[in-house]
Structure 1
Amino acid sequence: MLRIATWNINSVRLRVDQVARFVAESGTDVLCLQEIKCLEDQFPRAAFEAMGLPHLKIGGQKGWHGVAIASRKPIAEAPRLDVCREGHARCVAADVDGVEIQNFYIPAGGDVADRKLNPKFDHKMDFYERLTAEMAGRDQQRPLVLAGDFNIAPGENDVWNHRYMSKIVSHTPLEVETLRRLQAAGGFADVVRDQIPEPVKLASWWSYRAADFRKSNRGLRLDHLWTSPGLTPAVVPASARIHDTVREWTQPSDHAPVTMDLDV
């Protein structure tokens, strides 16, 4: 069995002790991190070796962005998808036990959902379009995981208030349609939502602005684990989980980890 987690850590050096605690408590085998906010030579390798994840693929960037995959098992090379026109460190790839894992930190898109008025939103849409084109040409039977912070909450019950959030970047109709187009291009299963069907409300992100995130309860499901048709049968039933209690820890990331198990 392979337990895969995705987590926007919002600075891996600041929260490396929380990573160690989560890995120990969850039994994670492969951890996909986003917003590591450091260069490759600044990554806390020794701490990851100590927590049992010595095999690393790191895409670093000074002060911003950055992604990494840490694994208990050896990592083989996988194609890196160069879909960020700005050259940011937003994608890292690895092959673990014959499963290709593509880990993304997709741009948030700023505040205005207009490609002409907002270059950040245009970048987000361009990133999705390039990634969709890549997936459209793939062999869907190849075992593939798309993981990461996609910065789109697709379903009505993936946001705290559908009507209000439909006007806010992360849940606008254009973004939802764009995400669905990517999902259709690769025939991907949205593992968490498939295993925990609507109308159950789900969220993996809560703003730091709320003193008590549970009381305000304004969450969004931005963090995703998708599987290709060739891998979806290997997903262990009822294994998908959003670890929202991690959001309660002292000085947490604003995102909670998400896990699933593969029978490979």
Structure 2
Amino acid sequence: MRLATWNINSIRTRVARAVDFAVREDIDVLALQEIKCTPEQFPYAPFEEAGYHVEAHGFNQWNGVAIASRLPITDVRTSFAGQPGFAKGHEGPDAPLEARALGVMVDGVRVWSLYVPNGRALGDAHYAYKLHWLDALRTATAAELTANPGLPLALVGDFNIIPYDADNGDPGIVQGFSTHVSPPERDAFFALETAGVKDVVRPLIPEGFTYWDYQRLKFPRNEGIRIDFILGSDAFAEAVTAAAIHRNERKGAQPSDHVPVVVDLDFGAAAEDDDLPMIFA
């Protein structure tokens, strides 16, 4: 299986790019974020003509997530357990849910396409919401993997967090003044490891950005940041054979400000490794 995640920044604007990439790179499962449309507005036809079925979750011109797959999709979920909601001026547990999470099963793999809240500014209500959202994601992921420890599970998408200083090439993002790099956000990201998932791309690609702002020549200057990730459970991580960050997708006509992140998976190889005889020195 080849799995990709891409914050497409409006699927209706970039559907041709998304489908071309999926076909050209032989992607089996493509998780999308920031589709910026309702399911009724999603441009299904180009994907279907290319052999993909699409599940989409969105409410309006903001946010929204989707998953396109050449393999059958089952067990579709439009939120995770305990996912908090948000609305300006609305506080409390009954705040409406945003379209930021879509979970499916594909060929025995649980895939979550996630668009983590931005946070906006330190001290903003949206920043507290972001931390609450990530904590709820950790709790829900831990519960799912506790119930099924051998499940290949992936949390993929735009996490809006820069985990390490080396992931920040944008001089405008400064710790102590900016979201994405604050200690509570980084702690929340690393806390996901306690739920049983880890970054499966970084061991293969330790350096590289996934986002460049459209403004101030950020891309030509390579003033990017790394905020798009594929986090996998042990069963998922053991099946990863290769990974790629497709930087060139930031080039050309009407690019997204994010680029795709891809992993190749071979669950047969992982099973064969489990069958190898144990050798003790």
Alpha-carbon distance between aligned partners in 1 of 2:8 and 2:153, rounded to the nearest angstrom: 23
Please say if 1:145 is aligned against 2:151.
Answer: no
Partner of 2:119: 109
Partner of 1:246: 249
Please give the TM-score of this superposition, normalised by the length of structure 1. Answer: 0.90
Alpha-carbon distance between aligned partners in 2 of 1:163 and 1:178, rounded to the nearest angstrom: 22
CA apart distance, 1:101: 0.4
CA apart distance, 1:51: 2.2
Q: How many residues align?
A: 251
Please say if 1:221 is aligned against 2:226.
Answer: yes
Identity among equivalent pairs (%): 39
Partner of 1:48: 47
Partner of 2:18: 19
Helix, strand or coil for the counterpart of 1:252?
A: coil
Q: Does the 8 A contact of 1:6 with 1:258 survive in 2?
A: yes
In structure 2, relative to structure 1, the CA distance for the partners of 1:212 and 1:185 (3 Å cut) is: closer
Helix, strand or coil for the counterpart of 1:204?
A: coil
Q: Does the 8 A contact of 2:4 with 2:27 survive in 1?
A: yes
In structure 2, relative to structure 1, the CA distance for the partners of 1:45 and 1:126 (3 Å cut) is: same
In structure 2, relative to structure 1, the CA distance for the partners of 1:133 and 1:196 (3 Å cut) is: same
Amino acid at match of 1:234: A
Partner deviation per Cα, 1:47-81 (whole Å, 9 max, x = no partner): 1112221x222111211100000000111115541
Alpha-carbon distance between aligned partners in 1 of 2:172 and 2:126, rounded to the nearest angstrom: 23
CA apart distance, 1:161: 5.9
1:71 corresponds, among 69, 72, 77, to: 69
Q: Does the 8 A contact of 2:170 with 2:224 survive in 1?
A: no
Q: Does the 8 A contact of 1:234 with 1:262 survive in 2?
A: yes
Please say if 1:166 is aligned against 2:175.
Answer: yes
Where do 5+ consecutive residues of structure 1 fail to align?
A: none
Helix, strand or coil for the counterpart of 2:68?
A: strand
In structure 2, relative to structure 1, the CA distance for the partners of 1:76 and 1:162 (3 Å cut) is: same
Please give the TM-score of this superposition, normalised by the length of structure 2. Answer: 0.85
Partner deviation per Cα, 1:104-147 (whole Å, 9 max, x = no partner): 10100002x22xxx101011011011111112223332110110
In structure 2, relative to structure 1, the CA distance for the partners of 1:41 and 1:78 (3 Å cut) is: closer
Q: How does 1:91-240 map to 2 (within 5 A)?
A: 91-111=101-121, 113-114=122-123, 118-137=124-143, 138-139=145-146, 140-160=149-169, 165-167=174-176, 168-186=178-196, 188-197=197-206, 200=207, 202-211=208-217, 213-215=219-221, 217-236=222-241, 239-240=242-243
Larger-Rg structure: 2
